[in-house]
Structure 1
């Protein structure tokens, strides 16, 4: 849903690529097409998955490569696979161009490892029936999927309210007479656990594992390969346990959001070369004692007393004096335990302070230069008992001390801080284990020696999502905006998509759909979004009587019953903030669709179709409610009056807000549109008719009530941008409505945008795609007050604030709001799709067909972007010179491109006149020439 009219392409798109340009494959004369980057569940060689979903990339030195068939072999041992004796599954040759989402048609055993390989046939070789060479083998293992497979028990410790957080340990022995082939640990520490073996942390970069869930319904466990950590003979498993989100009951003014006391479940399976196994599971034989983490809270911070450290506690030979037997947990146990398929939160990089100074109270202030999510790294040499405190903030006050207003501490009842008590035995180095903070500035107090940059550093932490997209252009202001957007998103992926990393750390539904597309272009988010959709579904699953609903904005509410399946404003967790309003809950419909659009994942639509349909029908019932009509004294049948509206628009004296009824009804229209297309995808004819009619009714009423046909506008910049993006503008009025946005910008907001999160993610693209690229360019590059530049020039912003400080009015008004909110990052999609010119085309979602259409070639000298798609790397790089425009594009094998030239004139492709490029096929769409390109690397010169 690009925002322009759909291109309808009849026939099999890839059939035109049978004519190819032949290149020399390589110096060795080989054919040059091969298969690599084998993944399972989007992970390289994953351990402990639930069900395999296989994918691969095709690489070739030739153009026009189209996969026509594939063959997969799976074996229980790698050497069997390499000998051609696959004993688990042989698919045989399968005619198909599918190269991801392949689900093997065989059963797999829990806790077992498997190896697989693949080869393909390409279109050019069909007549010779030649396949590529087999790929190099890849692996995966199946986790523990049923309760009966778990031999381990949930264990805890005595009187958690009276004791500090514990050490746990278990001494065990391997079979000395046998060779170990593999050892896997299946581990869930609630709320978070740090695992060690024989004195070494198994994965020292991992933090706050596992990811947050609705623990009263399920928890996740991680699977770790610990083969290299084991010794012959006696070994010791060690666990440090923290509360995380699971046991959080101190923040939010003491509101009890806890699910229970800290607990753990761990099962170590040691496999030997002879096929036998040793299983070590958590049970009453484990020991615990108080550890140095005296208390910890995911929001408020951590207190660590190094004097309670116990040397060698997790090594063989350590004394059991002072240790107690673990207790079997009986309360708060999650009913389901599932594999974690998203990357863990990791320590990503270490930042040193750019400046250090003392405030008026003598505290040392560290400025790390950027606002991020992180934890402190403390390094001191102090006497025993020295108490050191570190406090955190996103800003500084007029006295150059920390400004805590944006941290929201007043809602929690305490300023966030970490506390370290020295043991006085030389240089001590410490980082918190079970908390993290959002901050740029840290205040260090309690040290007796003058600190320096080595005393305190900052470790950036976030979920280890892979950055798959790159963007850069000749304009440094746009590059700066891109940098801020990326930093803000990374600051807010911590097992869930959070709204901010300091004050709330909550997964608000409305925030997510405002930036989902730019996140998909920059990062591999498929597993992450899938997990979050599961959080939305689990949180929504219960019926609730007489609960809070949002009426208008965030200050008018009503109470009624919630049906099972209708989500809350936040997922997961116990802080819910009421039932989702129509403009927030639309994420339940949009997220599966955008996963499909950017990753080609049809299964996600199939899995969540019932919830998507229920939500859309529910919002439709709100629109048709007689009670709501009476409340608003409106005789409408499709207008939705409930919602928060275009959230967090900047302050202007003359600009008008976008009405709630417009944004909520527009998203209802989008939900119906997605549902119709999804139903059509699965051939659900009754639903196609239902949602098609619903769209027509919504559009008809919106245009009749909200559209000004004389001035060609829906009234505000956001309303016009949304209407253009969703296809709500009457045919033929698109350019006029885009012009209305420009007029509104000039008249109401000093030539700049006035949009909240739902307009900001669309306005640049809608201007550029409907004849006003210059206005979009001017908006992105404007200087002075009422500009993006104002954010860092006058507000010193290094991330995107909850409300963007684009002028002095807003900057002063929002100092108590968060400085790190990814919901504002949606504008970044225009950099990829409209400046560089890369987007998924509706004729082949998942980048099966790529649309190349740069729209800013007249306004800057060069731009370039790339994205790693399910088919491979896509890139677009263009530059202007004295001779014209040079444009290089890359289309991966087994996909194709629709190229829309930025100029209506002749061009050359790889040095050939376009008329001689017989592999091209031209179509005219909406009055523009569109060219079909097969896979390959191309240099287009105008």
Structure 2
């Protein structure tokens, strides 16, 4: 849904513009398609005083005026649900133009529109043609107006980028450029795109979130030469982006760059852990992430592939004519230009390193949309952002970033309310025809992003607008889940209990669900026959409860009552079906106990017993966690909030596998998809997934003690009201966290001085705080700085 007026500024700029397609007589196929240049020479009046350019594309573009690149945004026009939402970028370009002949050029590649995408790396997801739409309007100092648009007078040619794909990589042949840096033809007339998407101007929207930019550069921390002509560069950090390479060698030097997260025993880069497969056949797919460059021999040539991105720590360069000088290569960190907001540190260096790794995992997966991994899939998995959005809001300002993505989620939502597993979704708001993709749409814990994400944005930023905009999508999802629960029964349950129990109206035991997913020691088995009702019913309760809370914020009393009833019914169904005794479950896993405590599913009088049983399960697992994708972030708060803070710290600080610090011990610089992503020399799965980094929330909410209400009112949301309640432990001597909130900078810092616990709190003006000290003292505080000191209870140092 557009977030702007019906007549955005670019409408006038694009008036009369046509979609133009480069001449492409032969399609070399996905992964092998070149980038094209479309260009026009225009005569402009002297003394250009004002000029604005608007452009968008089916594909990815860079715009050049008189040889100068316009703007510093990357991967323009970004990634959205293109069939319904296509962003138009605008730039002030007066400084790029002059009187007389001016050249307008657009470099166009496949991007997300028709490039490879997702786990199965399918291409042509949104269309089979790339195209550009552009308008340039301005005036001279004397008031003479000009207006240039994309039309049939433009010409096109294959560019020096002879292959460009976001997943496969990019190949550049600098020999195709002339001495002035222009493409050396042959030039052909463009064609005009008409029909279908071309004619639907209603989908054009202004940019609504921060763009992708080049954020940072990293030098190598090591360069090796495992064989003649080959260099392997270690940047010391797993990241998303590309490399910038100079000194490309004499003319005709052909360099091949392979990007990966690990090294093989030979010292070469391995990408085996990043290979996905075809679900229907199991056939492995190549990992991609290979760039190439052919030198023209001209001085000053620099290779920087801006029409692809890679997830990598290491780059292997083959074809070098001599040794690689470390000064000639840099890793370029590329992601959405989000504002950092949070910081955390403490007396334990390992926890600081974990925080850093979690931040880097998010940075690697915040490239235009929230992705699952920056190398193998690069898809906007709904479950990933549902799990992590609350944590991300401690680290960066993700309000606009998430709001934009939620609009795509609503655009891709099926008519029956189902939410696809990924969004933006190449299939749009309907089945794709791919069995597993269509089967998995509507999985509990994934589709619930439709409700959880807007609610987390409300808590952190206090904007009722996101709840209002997303309310139809939220309702559609919960209605779908509630209908599914009421209409169907799992065959095994029907056989055991032929006559359904009354509570089964709200027991969601049908359809496909991923379940907890990737619990340690549990092989993933995405089987629609599996009964995941203990997970699905919990999420039905959770989303219905949050939808009711959202309706309350919006003053929608009937909706509040309706979904409160659904939430209560799902909670009763969960309790009646799975509770077997005082705080005990019939299906015992750490995940089910943690989720039940986090979602308030256990009766109030049974919660401490449930937390005790959760602690016992951890002890029985040799002190290690056993949670998977959905509940890992809930585990430590579930313990600490129910009298088991020491056990929470013990899990947080545990080593070996599975554990967070065990990842770091095995060389992680980002958080892994699998708990045993690297074990006994074997590597599997992505080494850059942020879902398990949701533990970072605990560092802010419990270690440092900065907490928002779970159900804030308008007077409490966005840190207008906050609880400061540090939970010291784990042998820590001090901890501190700060957060730039909508009200201003907030911080909580504590230290142990002799036998006292000393807490420094800084609140922005207008923020009210409930301060809970470890000895049970509760105090009120308002904007400003306060210091509190109480005798230390010895148990918190355990």
Q: Which deviations, in whole Å up to 9, do the C-alpha atoms of 1:49-97 show, x marking residues without a partner?
A: 935xxxxxxxxxxxxxxxxxxxxxxxxxxxxxxxxxxxxxxxxxxxxxx
Distance in 2, Cα, partners of 1:250 & 1:341: 23
| C-alpha distance 871-609 of structure 1, shift in aligned 2 (>3 A) | same
On the 8 A contact 1:250/1:297 being kept in 2, the answer is no
Seen in structure 2, the aligned counterparts of structure 1 residues 386 and 632 have a Cα distance that, compared at 3 Å, is farther
Structure 2 residue 209 is the aligned partner of structure 1 residue 342: yes
Q: Does 2:219 align with 1:357?
A: no
Q: Distance in 1 between matches of 2:768 and 2:141?
A: 47
- Output the CA distance in 2 between the equivalents of 1:192 and 1:377: 19
Cα distance in structure 1, aligned partners of 2:10 and 2:424: 24
In structure 2, the residue corresponding to 1:873 is in which secondary structure? strand
Tell me which residue corresponds to 2:649. 777
Per-residue CA deviations over 1:103-136 (Å, capped at 9, x if unaligned) read xxxxxx95xxxxxxxxxxxxxxxxxxxxxxxxxx
Indicate whether 1:639 and 2:503 are aligned: no
Check conservation: 1:745, 1:754, Cα contact below 8 A. yes
SS in 2 for 1:758: coil
Q: Give the Cα–Cα distance (whole angstroms) in 1 for the partners of residues 413 and 335 of structure 2.
A: 26
Distance 1:617 1:683, change over 3 A: same
The 2-side partners of 1:321 and 1:514 are apart by: 49
For residues 881-896 of structure 1, the aligned pairs below 5 Å read: 881-882=753-754, 884-896=756-768
Is 2:63–2:69's contact at 8 Å kept on the other side of the alignment? yes
Secondary structure, in 3 states, of the residue corresponding to 1:732?
helix
Q: Which string of whole-angstrom CA distances, capped at 9 and with x for unpartnered residues, describes residues 483-534 of structure 1? A: 1111011101121111111111111111111111100111111111111111
Could you tell me which residue of structure 1 aligns to residue 592 of structure 2?
Answer: 719
Q: Distance in 1 between matches of 2:122 and 2:600?
A: 47
Structure with max Cα Rg: 1
Q: Do the aligned residues in 2 keep the contact of 1:376 with 1:457 (CA within 8 Å)? A: yes
Structure 2 residue 470 is matched with structure 1 residue 608: yes
Q: State the distance in 2 between where 1:900 and 1:806 align.
A: 39
2:79 matched to 1:212? yes
- Corresponding pairs, count: 746
Could you say which residue in structure 2 is the equivalent of 1:196? 64
Aligned pair in 2 of structure 1 residues 807, 731: CA closer, same or farther (>3 Å)? Answer: farther
Equivalent residue for 1:41?
Answer: none
Q: 1:415 to 1:606 in 2, by over 3 A?
A: closer
* Alpha-carbon separation, structure 2, partners of 1:786 and 1:214: 37
Instruction: Please tell me whether residue 798 in structure 1 is matched to residue 669 in structure 2.
Output: yes
**2:358 matches 1:494:** no
Contact 1:213 1:219 in 2 (8 A): yes
| Distance in 1 separating the partners of 2:377 and 2:447 | 19
Secondary structure at 1:213's aligned position in 2?
Answer: coil
Moved more, 413-422 or 325-334: 325-334
Measure the CA separation in 2 of the matches of 1:353 and 1:469: 27
Q: Deviations over 1:170-207 (max 9, x none)?
A: 3334432x661x4322111331111122222122x422
Name 2:244's counterpart in structure 1. 377
Equivalent residue number for residue 292 of structure 1: 160
Kept in 2, the 8 Å contact 1:259–1:332? The answer is no
Residue 394 (structure 2) pairs with residue 574 (structure 1):
no
Question: How far apart in 1 are the matches of 2:179 and 2:189?
Answer: 20
How far apart are 1:806 and its partner, in Å? Answer: 8.1
How far did residue 360 of structure 1 move?
A: 5.2
1:583 is paired with a residue of what secondary structure?
A: coil
Q: SS of 1:757's equivalent?
A: coil
Alpha-carbon separation, structure 2, partners of 1:619 and 1:49: 27
Which shifted more, 669-678 or 882-891? 882-891
Counterpart of 1:330 in structure 2 is 194
CA distance in 1, matches of 2:739, 2:651: 25
- What is the CA distance between 1:751 and its match in structure 2? 0.5
After TM superposition, the structure 1 stretch with the greater mean CA deviation from structure 2, 213-222 or 613-622, is: 213-222
Match of 2:234 among 362, 367, 385: 367
CA separation of 1:609 and 1:449: change in aligned 2, threshold 3 A: same
Pairwise CA distance, 1:220: 0.9
Aligned to 2:36: 166
1:154 maps onto 2:108 in alignment: no
Counterparts of 1:785 and 1:155 in 2: how far apart (Å)? 55
Shift of 1:214: 2.4
Report the TM-score, using the length of structure 2 for normalisation: 0.88
User: Which segment drifts farther, 710-719 or 348-357?
Assistant: 710-719
CA shift in 2, pair 1:249/1:671, >3 Å: closer
Distance in structure 1 (CA, Å) of the matches to 2:405 and 2:590: 31
Native 8 Å contact 1:260 1:332 kept in 2: no
Give the Cα–Cα distance (whole angstroms) in 2 for the partners of residues 645 and 218 of structure 1.
31
> Could you tell which deviates more after superposition, 363-372 or 504-513?
363-372
| CA apart distance, 1:631 | 6.9
Query: Structure 1 632/143 Cα, relative in aligned 2: closer, same or farther at 3 Å?
Result: farther
| Pairing 1:398–2:265 present | yes
Q: Report if the CA contact (8 A) 2:14-2:54 is conserved.
A: no
2:253 is aligned with 1:386: yes
Partner residue, 1:118: none
Q: Return the match for 2:558 from 681, 686, 693.
A: 686
CA contact (8 A) 2:117 2:377 kept: no
Q: Which residue pairs with 1:936 in the alignment? A: 784
Question: What is the CA–CA distance in structure 2 between the aligned matches of 1:525 and 1:902, rounded to whole Å?
Answer: 32
- Following the alignment from structure 2 to structure 1, what is the Cα–Cα distance between the partners of residues 334 and 786? 39
1:433 matches 2:268: no
Query: Which residue of structure 2 aligns with residue 227 of structure 1?
Result: 94
CA-based RMSD: 2.8
User: 1:257, 1:574 within 8 Å by CA — same for their partners in 2?
Assistant: yes
**CA contact under 8 A between 1:847 and 1:869: conserved in structure 2?**
yes
Taking the aligned partners of 1:786 and 1:896, their CA distance within structure 2 comes to 39
The structure 2 residue matched to 1:594, chosen from 443, 450, 456, is 456
Q: Distance in 2 between matches of 1:407 and 1:379?
A: 28
By how many angstroms is 1:835 displaced? 0.9
Gaps of 5+ in 1: 1-47, 52-108, 111-141, 544-562, 906-928
SS of the counterpart of 1:367?
Answer: strand
Task: String of CA shifts for 1:120-167, please: whole Å, max 9, x gaps.
Answer: xxxxxxxxxxxxxxxxxxxxxx52258x96332211111263584222
Supply the distance in 2 between the matched residues of 1:395 and 1:868 (Cα, whole angstroms). 36
Q: 1:806 to 1:307 in 2, by over 3 A?
A: closer
Change (3 A) 1:160 1:834: farther
Give 2:485's aligned residue. 623
CA 1:274/1:383 → structure 2, altered by over 3 Å: closer, same or farther?
Answer: closer
Query: How far apart, in 2, do the equivalents of 1:632 and 1:493 lie?
Result: 44
Distance 1:584 1:49 in 2: 24
Cα distance, 1:256 vs structure 2: 4.2
- Which residue does 1:851 correspond to in 2? 723
C-alpha distance in structure 2 between counterparts of 1:427 and 1:683, whole Å: 63
Find the partner of 1:584 among 432, 441, 446. Answer: 446
Match of 1:526 in 2: 399
- 1:226–1:679: structure 2 CA closer, same or farther, 3 Å change rule? same
Structure-1-length-normalised TM-score? 0.75
Q: CA deviation at 1:297?
A: 0.9
Separation in 1, partners of 2:195, 2:231 = 44
Give yes or no for contact 2:551–2:559 (8 Å, CA) kept in 1. yes
- Residues 838 and 372 of structure 1: is their aligned pair in 2 closer, same or farther, counting only changes over 3 Å? same
CA-CA distance at 1:566 after TM superposition: 2.3
Kept after mapping to 2: 8 A contact 1:406/1:816: yes
